Chain A
Amino acid sequence: MQLQTTGNRIFQYSNAVLFVIISIVMLYPFWYVVMFSLSDPSNVSVNNLYLLPNGFTLASYQNVLKSPLIFSGFANTLIITIVGTFINLGLTALTAYPISRNRLVGRVYLFAFIMFTMIFQGGIIPTYLIVRSLGLLDTLWALMLPLAINVYNLLIMMKFFKNIPDSLIEAAYIDGCSDWGVFFRIVCRISGPVFAVIGLFYAVQHWNDFFQGMLYLNNQQLWPLQVGLRNLLIGGQMAEQMGAMETNVSSESFKMASVVVTVLPILLLYPFLQKFFVKGIMLGSVKG
Chain B
Amino acid sequence: MQLQVKMTKMLQLLLRDKNLYFMLLPGLVYFIVFRYFPMAGLIIAFKDYDIFKGIQDSPWVGLDIFREVFSSSDFKDILFNTLLISFYKLIFGFPVPILLALLLNEIRFRFFQRLSQTILYLPHFISWVVIGGIMLTLLSPNYGIAGDIMRLFGVEPFNLLGSRDYFRSILVVSDIWRNAGWGTIIYLAALTQVDPTLYEAAVVDGANKWKQTWHITLPSIAPVIILLLILDIGRIMNVGFEQILILQNPLVRDISDVFETYVYRVGIQRGEYSFTAALDFFKSVVSAVLIISAHRISKRLGQEGLL
CB–CB A32/B134 < 8 A: yes
The answer to the question of B61 belonging to the interface, with a C-beta cut-off of 8 Å to chain A, is: no
- Does B103 contact A19, Cβ atoms closer than 8 Å? yes
With beta carbons under 8 angstroms apart, the residue of B31, B120, B177, B249 that contacts A241 is: B249
**Cβ < 8 Å to A, chain B residues 150-177:** 151, 159, 161-162, 177
The answer to whether A56 has its CB under 8 Å from any CB of chain B is no
Q: Which residues of B contact A105 (CB under 8 A)?
A: 10, 13-14, 17
Contact A123 B280 (CB under 8 A): yes
Contact with B along A114-140 (1 / 0, CB 8 A): 110111111111111110001000000
Given A32-B138, A44-B143, A148-B34, A95 and B200 contact (CB-CB distance below 8 Å): no
CB distance from B129 to the nearest CB of A (A): 5
- Determine whether B267 belongs to the interface, using a CB cutoff of 8 Å to chain A: yes
In the complex, the answer to whether A241 meets B250 with C-beta atoms within 8 Å is yes
Distance in Å: Cβ of A196 to nearest Cβ of chain B:
16
For residue A276, give the distance in angstroms from its CB to the closest CB of chain B.
11
The reply to whether A270 and B137 contact each other, CB–CB distance below 8 Å, is no
Residue A47 at the B interface, CB < 8 A?
A: yes
Contact of A15 among B17, B35, B106, B277 (CB under 8 A): B106
Of the candidates A117, A230, A258, which one forms a contact with B31 in the assembled complex, judged by CB atoms under 8 Å apart?
Answer: A117
Please indicate the chain A residues that have their CB under 8 angstroms from the CB of B17 in the complex: 98, 101, 103-105, 179
Query: Is A282 close to B, CB under 8 A?
Result: yes
* Chain A residues closer than 8 Å to B31, beta-carbon distance: 113-114, 117, 149
| Residue pair A214, B251 in contact (C-beta under 8 Å) | no
Partner-binding segment picked from B39-47, B72-80, B81-89: B39-47
Contact with B along A38-54 (1 / 0, CB 8 A): 00000011111100000
The interface residues of chain B lying within 8 Å CB-to-CB of A8 are: 209
**What's the Cα separation between A118 and B17 when bound, in Å?**
27
List B contacts of A273 (CB < 8 A). 125
On whether A123 and B277 interact (CB within 8 A), knowing A8-B209, A15-B107, A27-B119, the answer reads: yes
How many residues on the B side are at the interface (Cβ–Cβ under 8 A)? 101
Q: How far is the CA of A274 from the CA of B112 in the complex (A)?
A: 16
B291, closest chain A residue (CB): A119
Q: With A and B bound together, what is the CA distance between A282 and B190 in angstroms?
A: 11
- B148–A46 CB distance below 8 A: yes
For the complex, is A174 an interface residue (Cβ under 8 Å from B)? no
**Known contacts A16-B112, A229-B130: does B27 contact A204 (CB below 8 Å)?**
no
Chain B minimum-CB-distance residue to A30: B134
Q: Does A110 contact B (CB under 8 A)?
A: yes
Partner of A252, one of B137, B148, B268, B284: B137
Tell me the bound Cα distance from A26 to B35 in angstroms.
Answer: 37
Q: Please indicate the chain B residues that have their CB under 8 angstroms from the CB of A126 in the complex.
A: 37-42, 44, 277, 280
User: Is B246 an interface position by the 8 A CB rule?
Assistant: yes
B132 within 8 A of A: yes
CB of B21 within 8 A of CB of A98, answer: yes
Check: A61 CB closer than 8 A to any chain B CB.
no
Closest residue of chain B to A129 (Cβ to Cβ) is B41
The answer to whether residues A211 and B242 also contact, given A125-B273, A179-B23, A252-B137 and a CB cut-off of 8 A, is yes
Q: Is A23 among interface residues, defined by CB-CB distance under 8 A?
A: yes
Contacting B20 at CB < 8 Å: which of A123, A179, A274, A281?
Answer: A179
Q: Which residue of B lies closest to A271 (CB)?
A: B118
Chain B residues, Cβ within 8 Å of A180: 19, 23
CB pair A233–B132 under 8 Å, yes or no, is yes
**Is A263's CB under 8 angstroms from B287's CB?**
no
Task: Give the Cβ gap from B189 to chain A, nearest Cβ, in Å.
Answer: 7
The CB with the most chain A CB atoms within 10 A, among B20, B39, B100, B203, is that of B20
Asked whether B220 is an interface residue with its Cβ less than 8 Å from the other chain, the reply is: no
Q: A183 an interface residue at 8 Å Cβ cutoff?
A: yes
The residue from B10, B129, B277, B281 contacting A210, defined by CB atoms under 8 A apart: B129
Q: At the interface, yes or no: A74 with Cβ under 8 Å from chain B?
A: no
Whether a CB of chain B sits under 8 angstroms from the CB of A192 is no
Known: A123-B277, A208-B126. A110 touches B44 (CB 8 A): no
Known: A18-B103, A241-B251. A120 touches B284 (CB 8 A): yes
Q: Does A2 contact B (CB under 8 A)?
A: yes
A-B contacts, 13 of them at CB < 8 A, read: A1-B200, A26-B120, A49-B148, A91-B30, A95-B26, A119-B292, A119-B307, A121-B38, A123-B280, A179-B17, A211-B264, A252-B137, A252-B143
- Residues of A at under 8 Å CB distance from B? 1-3, 7-8, 11-12, 15-16, 18-19, 22-23, 25-27, 29-30, 32-33, 36, 44-49, 90-92, 94-95, 97-99, 101, 103-105, 110, 113-115, 117-130, 134, 145-149, 178-180, 183, 204, 207-211, 214-215, 226, 229-230, 233, 236-238, 240-241, 245, 247, 249, 252, 255-256, 258-259, 262-263, 266, 270-271, 273-274, 277-278, 281-282, 285, 287
Please give me the 4 A-B residue pairs with the lowest Cβ-Cβ distance, nearest first. Answer: A122-B38, A123-B280, A95-B27, A126-B41
